[in-house]
Every structure is written in structure tokens, then in C-alpha cells.
A and B are shown apart, each in its own frame.
Chain A
Amino acid sequence: MLAKRIIPCLDVRDGRVVKGVNFEGIREVGDPVECAAEYNKQGADEIVFYDITASHEGRGVMLDVVRETAKRVFVPLTVGGGIKTVDDIRDTLRAGADKVSVNSQAVKNPQLIKDGADIFGSQCICVGIDAKKTPAGNWTVYINGGRIDMGIDLLDWVKEIERLGAGEICLNSIDTDGVKGGFDLPMLKAVVDAVSIPVIASGGAGKLGDFAEAFQKTDCSAALAASLFHFKELTVQQVKDDCRAKGIIVR
């Protein structure tokens, strides 16, 4: 059977790793290539770079980071943030990424998912989603780093992106992101049950047991965290040991 994946995410701005809490109060935490190499050593199953650079020049810097990382890290690399066109996808994959994660642009232009999947294969198109609970009890999809509510129902959106050929979903809960109270299990379960492509849980991991809990209570395929690993509160290895002790298959 496939192992459940533990994925550290590195937020990168202008070629440096940064970390924000609830998308604000950004602080710098280091060199992305070194951070990726360290996670690789800890047993990360995949590494995600999330590029929060706004400028066009910054994209070139990000591709350099990917190129350098690909020379030293031999697990799958995913790059998200700022990917707007098929050419962006191509450039990112050519630099050495195995997958791209498209987020806001997929909402604005869903055809990008279909074109990307048709040209490069579904396996390299991950769709990142930021979603938040509404007073009515459902969830809606946000763009631009969680700032703009598109009013699109989350479960409608995940079915649509599966239909368009996405290979994977990375689901971030705005409600739990940065709060460290655990993943948003009701949202996660609803999405996992709505689609048959793999779902990565994101946003909210705060302690060791949160990862195993996500795998025990939902059929998510992977769990992602950023600050927890950055600030060395936990290592990837500790998380895997905890999962293994609870009977969850990990590498």
C-alpha cells in the first residue's frame, strides 16, 4: 500500500524562506536550498516551495532555487505560487520541479488546470485551495492568499477541478492555518469524500499527534506543515515515528 506522506512546505519570497502567521507578520527563516536539504535528511516524502514573490523578476529567482534544490534533493519537489500560464508550468517543471501547485489562477482561469493536465499529465498538476467556513456551515474558496472570498462552494469546486484533470488537491483551511490547533478535519473529510484524487491536508498542525489524527479520521493521502518544521518544534522524523507507532504506514 502507499505510504502516507509527510510534506514540509517552504514559503519563499525573493529567494529566501519566510513564514507568516495567518498570512501576515512575515519573518525570514533561511536559505531554501539548505532547508530543503535538511528536510530531505529528516525523511520528508516530498518538498513544497510556495513562492510568495509578487514581482516578475522574483520568478527567475524561484526557478534558480528549484534548479539548485534539484541537484541535491532526490525526492519529489512541488512548486506553487504565481503560476499563471502553461509557460509558467513548463518553466517550473524544466527547472526540476515534479509538480506545480496552482491556486488563485486556477480559480480565475480553470482552463489552466485542463491545459496543464493535457500537456504535462495530471500527475504534475496539483490544485491548491484556500477555503473558509461560512455562517451557513459550508465552505467557500478564497484567492490571493486568503484575502478574497470568491463565493464558490468548496465541494463544487473540488469536483470541478477533478473533472478538469487535476492530479491532486492541497487543501488549506484559513480557519485553522497558523492557529496550531490541528487540521480542519470536517473540511478535510468532506473534500476527501467528494473526490477520488489524493488530498493533502494543510493548515493547522500544531503538535505531534495532529498528523496521525488526520490520517486516522480521514482518508487524506498526505499532510503538510510549514512553521512547525521551520521552527524545529518537530522534525519530520518525529511525526513519522508517531504515525508508525499508531499503525499508520509511512516511509
Chain B
Amino acid sequence: MIAIVDYGAGNIFSVKNALDYLGLDSRLTDAAAEIEAADEVILPGVGAFPAAMKMLESKGLVPVLQAQAKKKPLLGICLGMQMLLEKSYEFEECEGLGLIGGTVERIDAPGLIIPHMGWNKLEMGIDCPILKGLPEESYVYFVHSFAAKNCDKSLAAWVEYGGKVPAMVYDGGNVFGAQFHPEKSGEVGLQILKNFGGLV
């Protein structure tokens, strides 16, 4: 069972819909016990970093996620990916979960539209098991104004948007983060979720 962490942020139903469509058993939950009992965990998220971290903290989920990341695959999506990092500068300096080295800063793309919204092409970095089996030209769907920085060691994929914008981070073990929305990225996104579901 995949626990989709439901802490009050974002459109989590589309993640659930995609997993249902793929036949992957999942549950929306904010209960520590269920997250601990799950085989895998997805941390979704849309909105602002400090507010989302506060919601996780108020539910007591920060230490739970940090502990579970050592034991089972964890996939952060969009803001959920950014929260895997050490620190964000969205509105105010704010600590993240610290599971992946790096920071979160506003996208610096002079002359380009912010938010970075739409379909962009993945360029592959370090070897990552959930990016296996994708077509050579794989486009995925992004909606974000802030992005990961200083995470070169964990960079599994990036896209070009006024420079390299991290698309997928991976710690080499259990922790994965997708800046894009796999649940909105057509066949490519479904393949990535299927790969994640197939890790256990």
C-alpha cells in the first residue's frame, strides 16, 4: 500500500486517481501509524513552502517522514519534492525535511515567464530507477515558481528553462523528488508512478 500524505495542501486526488488507474493500492492519510505501515510514501503538495511545512509540523509528521525515508521509498511531488531539501527561501527562510542536500529558490530565468508552467523535456542525470523505460524524448508537466538549487549530486533529471531547472532528485537510496507532476504528465508520468510502485 502506498500512503499519500494528506496534510491539507494541494490537489491530492489526482495523485490518487493516477495510482487507482495503474491498479496501485493507495490511501490518503495524515496518520503516522498508516504512513509507518505503508510500503511506500508519496508526499504531494501545491502552495507555499512555509505554510506546507507548518501543516506537516502541526500533524507531527516531520519526524515520521524523516524516519520512514530510511526504511521505504518516498516520492515527493512538486512542493513535496521541494520539502525534501534542506531549506527554502520562499517568502522566508524555512527548514525543509533535509532528506536531500540543497536549497529551494525562486527560478532565475530572465525574460522568461514565471511560473514555469507547461510541458518541458527531461534531460537525464544520475541513474534513477524510477526514470527507467521512458521514451527518448520525454516531456513532463510543470507548474512552479521556485526550484531546487545546489543539489547537483542528487540530480537525476533536469529541464532547460533559462538554465538547468532540476526536475527529479534522487538520493541514491529511498528518496525521490519530482518537481513536475507525474499525475498530470500523460503516459510518461504514469510510467514513472508505475516504476515507483514497482520498487517494492
A residues with a Cβ closer than 8 A to B are 1-3, 5, 40, 43, 45, 70-72, 74-76, 93-94, 96, 98, 121-123, 167-168, 196-198, 221-222, 251
Contacts and interface: CB of A to CB of B under 8 A. Distances in A.
Contacts of A167: 115, 117
A196 B185 CA distance: 25
B11 interface: yes
Determine which residue in B17, B47, B119 has the highest number of CB atoms from chain A within 10 A of its CB, and name it: B119
Contacts of B116: 2
Contacts of B189: 74
Contact of B113 (A45, A96, A196): A196
Given A71-B20, A197-B113, A123 B119 contact: no
Determine which residue in B46, B47, B113, B189 has the highest number of CB atoms from chain A within 10 A of its CB, and name it: B113
Nearest to B138: A251
B135 to A, nearest CB: 11
Contact of B11 (A2, A40, A98, A122): A98
Contacts of B115: 122-123, 167
Contacts of A123: 115, 117, 143
B118 interface: yes
Interface of B: 11, 13-14, 17-18, 20-21, 46-47, 113, 115-121, 139, 141, 143, 160-161, 183-186, 189-190
Contacts of B14: 70, 74, 96, 98
B160 A1 contact: yes
Contact of B18 (A74, A94, A122, A221): A74
A56 B57 CA distance: 40
A251 B21 CA distance: 23
Minimum-distance CB pairs A-B, first 10: A251-B139, A2-B118, A3-B119, A251-B119, A123-B143, A71-B17, A75-B186, A76-B184, A70-B17, A123-B115
A167 B160 CA distance: 21
A55 B101 CA distance: 53
A5 B11 contact: no
Contacts of A94: 11, 13
A59 B184 CA distance: 24
A43 B139 CA distance: 11
24 contacts: A2-B118, A3-B120, A3-B139, A43-B186, A70-B13, A71-B17, A72-B21, A74-B14, A74-B17, A74-B183, A75-B185, A75-B186, A94-B13, A96-B14, A96-B17, A98-B11, A98-B184, A121-B47, A123-B115, A167-B115, A197-B113, A198-B117, A198-B118, A251-B186
